[in-house]
Amino acid sequence: MALPLAPIAVMAAKYGTVALAGYALARQIQPGRVDQRCEDALDELGEGISAHRPRDREQVNGAARFRRVIRLGTNGPGIEIDASALARVKLRRI
């Protein structure tokens, strides 16, 4: 029985294109660094979402934190999820 190569070639070309695009994107990502001041600021955030606008600046500041512990069973091993984010949006009239 003959193996139809045309459908396999189309799938290989499609997945090869996606893999090549992913590789090109991964090559452009710069290595990050850890700033201890930022880490401390994220650790001090309260849980929930907040936003405020300082009166002396034309910007809006926002913060969010989600912290949960998920356990498998009643006394089983657990995973702590701690997701924090800070944001700043500056608005200027030109």
Return the residue matching tokens 């949960």. 68
- Give the per-residue pLDDT at 3: 72
Mean pLDDT of 7-32: 90
- 58/83: higher pLDDT: 83
* DSSP H stretches of helix in 1-94: 5-28, 36-43
| Distance, first Cα to last Cα, the chain | 72
Quick one: which of 23, 26, 27, 62 has its CA closest to 46? 62
pTM: 0.55
- Give the per-residue pLDDT at 66: 92
Q: Provide the sign of the torsion angle of the four alpha carbons 41, 92, 49, 66, taken in this order.
A: negative
What confidence category does residue 9 fall into, taking pLDDT thresholds of 50, 70 and 90? confident
Across the chain, mean pLDDT equals 87
- Give the per-residue pLDDT at 1: 61
